[in-house]
Amino acid sequence: TKFGSNPFEYIVTGCEMENSKPAPDIFLKAAELMNCDIKKCLVIEDSFNGIRAAHASGATACMIIDILPPTEELMEIIDVIKEDLFEVKRMIENSFLTEKQLASYFDHTNLKPFATEEDFKKLCQEADSLGCSMVAINSYPVKMCKEILKDSKVHVGAAISFPLGQTTIETKVQETLNAIKDGADEIDYVVNIGKVKEHNYDYIKEEMQQIVKACKDNNIIVKVIFENCYLTEDEKIKLCHIAKEVKPDFIKTSTGFGTGGATLEDVRLMVREVDGAVKVKAAGGIRDLKTTLEFIEAGAQRIGTSSTVKIIEEFKEKK
């Protein structure tokens, strides 16, 4: 889209075909940005061969020209291509990121149990100065942070039932409503992880529905924290499918207080399973620019981190 083209017309491949043509400028520029060998950028006329080529590992680009019957095999291959394509598109976009655009991905975070009022003031001042989307805090200091940021575009986000998720639905809803009353613009709540491990998905769905309703009734953004480090792949997929049905604004990888944080594999899985119905937030262990950009390329639309200032400084030095 940066070059006036529809990115869904393009796929990535490293195979050379007999019926190939030299690549147009869009491919050459994309390859240059991705440090690819631009001599391998091709346009392949036979779309099925092109799709097969794209399914192989390799470099650069190919255009699908004709339309084929949607066979099961073809659709499976296209699903793989779509995932790769989204990532390549975001990789190209990252090459054009401005400091302001990068900052808007961040939920600037301080969820430490020993955080003081001075820490929260500093957090808010940094987030406002940088242009972050949100400050992520526990529910107690919401009122104070809202006052500090009353003239700012930065949202105040409250973490609910954090970090364990082991409170009743009624308690979570009430904490959510209290945070909204205090001025929260966004809510990040932790699912009842024990109920996920029991595979009691009716409970998880009811919990999600009630908290999402409490937020939507007040025009508040809501994020659902999975805490993926404790979950199997099947459990993550099931939560994604529930979220796709209930439609919170975001699903989120981690609290940052579990045995592991965000992983690229988890973000890719979550993005794939919700299929655009819900956005994905990556959080936990994201401390440098390289990792941040990798998560954005994988499909994360928010990044939760306490290292925002460091990452922005690294970005400015790189530019």
Q: Which residues are catalytic?
A: 188, 252, 281
Q: Residue 224 region, left (φ>0) first, then alpha (ψ -120 to 50), else beta?
A: beta
Residue type, 119: D
Query: What CA–CA distance (Å, rounded) separates 33 from 138?
Result: 40
How many CB atoms are closer than 10 A to CB 215? Answer: 25
Angle between helices 72-94 and 47-55 (to 10 degrees): 70
Query: How far lies 77's CA from each of 18, 70, 74, 81, 216, in Å?
Result: 22, 11, 5, 6, 37
* Alpha helices, H only, the chain: 25-33, 47-55, 72-94, 99-103, 117-130, 142-148, 169-182, 193-197, 201-216, 233-246, 264-274, 289-298, 308-318
Burial 48-70 (b: 16+ CB within 10 A, else e): ebbbbbbbeebbbbbbbeeeeee
State the Cα–Cα distance between residues 293 and 313, nearest whole angstrom: 14
- 12: phi then psi, degrees, rounded to nearest 5: -110, 130
Token readout for 32 is 């240059």
- DSSP one-letter string for 27-57: HHHHHHHTT--GGG-EEESSHHHHHHHHHSS
Name the one residue in this structure whose structure tokens are 């919401």. Answer: 142
